Amino acid sequence: MRAAVFIRFIATAGSVALIGLVAGCQSASPPAPAQSTTALSTMERVALGANACWFKSGDAAFKPYRLAPELNSFSGRPRILLVQRNSPESRPLAVVQAEGHPARLQAFGPLFSETMGSRMTADIKRWAAGGKGCS
């Protein structure tokens, strides 16, 4: 009887030690997934940031414009356009596009030479790199 109790004690102690060893090897939290650097995922981040910070926030500098995302591009260059609010079919005033993996961004158009151009460039770079929030 004593031998059976002793064997059960050893087995239980061994199980507890094994559980403690396995738990000690695990990290506190799983590693964050790596941020995607594809052209589409980069432009999605830029589009979400631009929409939230420039348009939905009611920023007066962007009142005369409208965001026109063109993320489903068969050319492999997803892009967003800033166009006149009352004339969305007119020539874009700003174009931001990306291509490749990792994404290479291009931004051009007359709005980038205006006073708001440097702010737009800084925001776009921050959002493309994974940053959040508005400036």
Non-local (6+) Cβ contacts of 87 within 8 A are: none
- More reliable by pLDDT, 49 or 88: 49
Domain boundaries, the chain: 39-128
pLDDT in tens, 67-87: 999 999 788 899 999 999 999
Non-local (6+) Cβ contacts of 23 within 8 A are: none
Place 8 in a pLDDT band, splitting at 50, 70 and 90.
low
pTM over 0.75: no
Element (H, E) at 19: helix 2-25
pLDDT of residue 96: 98
pLDDT in tens, 26-61: 555 555 556 788 999 999 999 999 999 999 999 999
pLDDT of residue 18: 44
- More reliable by pLDDT, 92 or 26: 92
Burial classification of residue 4, based on how many CB atoms lie within 10 Å of its CB (0-12 exposed, 13-18 middle, 19 or more buried):
exposed
Output phi, psi for 85, to 5 deg: -55, -45
